[in-house]
Amino acid sequence: MNRLSAYIKIVRPYNFLITFLTVFIAAFVTYKGEFPLTKVLLAAITASLTMSAGNIINDIYDLNGDKINHPGRPLPSGIISLQSACVYYFILLAVSLFLSIYISNLNFAVNLLAVILLYLYSYKLKRIALTGNLVVSLLTGLVFVYGGITVNNIYNSIIPALFAFLINLIREIVKDMEDAEGDMREGIISFPSKYGAKIANNTIVTLSISLILFTLFPYISGLYSHYYIAVILVLVIPILIYFLISLLKDNSRKNLNKLSFILKLDMVFGLFAVYVGK
């Protein structure tokens, strides 16, 4: 790995792309009237830069553990020095925050909040059972709020943001269940490893039922049209029910990995429901 590829790898280019597309999708499903393409592109870039900086600070705080668990990564391998990583982190943050000012003051404020949450997550919160999951899910929801602010329609972003928060919180716990054995070996106290699979299962069931009820609310309250409820009843809720039945039948690592992907797919269907029903 040469130095340039190491600087690319440390920011997780796949995650950069996912964040970029998510902001674009968030703006697309929430806008009304004209679509401010330049502002949306700036929002997608700034959110992706903030997420990239978050990956760097996470690797900085994980350096000692990664020397054992992931010695080939840019920092533990020594291709990027700790000092260079810190400089890289602050450069990405500076560019992201500076550009977000040109979108709006509110975009800047939300971006700054995301920066703070990502730092606190890497520094301490990810090591606290469930707290780290909540922060990751909150950041996912904030991406949709960020997109909604960009198109001057924060109100329309609330429903998809809450949906994204809930389904990602469920998925975060499922992923922790999948990694519970490895986490315990490495001394990571996740929610399932601390409280056990039974309580984790019950928490997921409670959250999933809450999510199902929540998906009905926008239609019942008249916020979205019958196109929305059609997608919800045909795709989103049946997939969630299948997910719950499968989870309660099989807690194997292989099945949990499959269910994590299914939840990601269901999130896409949920956003599609919001778009066609707005």
Per-residue pLDDT at 94 exceeds 90: yes
Instruction: Please report which confidence band the pLDDT of residue 185 belongs to, taking 50, 70 and 90 as the band edges.
Output: low
Per-residue pLDDT at 47 exceeds 90: yes
Per-residue pLDDT at 20 exceeds 80: yes
Instruction: Please report which confidence band the pLDDT of residue 36 belongs to, taking 50, 70 and 90 as the band edges.
Output: very high
Contacts of 270 by beta carbon, 8 Å cutoff, 6+ apart = 160, 163, 167, 215, 232, 236
Where are the alpha helices (H) located in 31-73, listed in sequence order? 37-61, 63-69
Contacts of 18 by beta carbon, 8 Å cutoff, 6+ apart = none
Per-residue pLDDT at 238 exceeds 70: yes
Per-residue pLDDT at 168 exceeds 90: yes
Per-residue pLDDT at 69 exceeds 90: no
Per-residue pLDDT at 137 exceeds 80: yes
Out of 27-31, 46-50, 201-205, 225-229, which region has the weakest mean confidence (pLDDT)?
A: 27-31
Arithmetic mean of pLDDT, 194-219? 92
- Its pTM stands at 0.87
- Rounded Cα–Cα distance for residues 264 and 168 (Å): 8
Average pLDDT along the chain: 90
Quote the percentage of the chain above a pLDDT of 90. Answer: 56
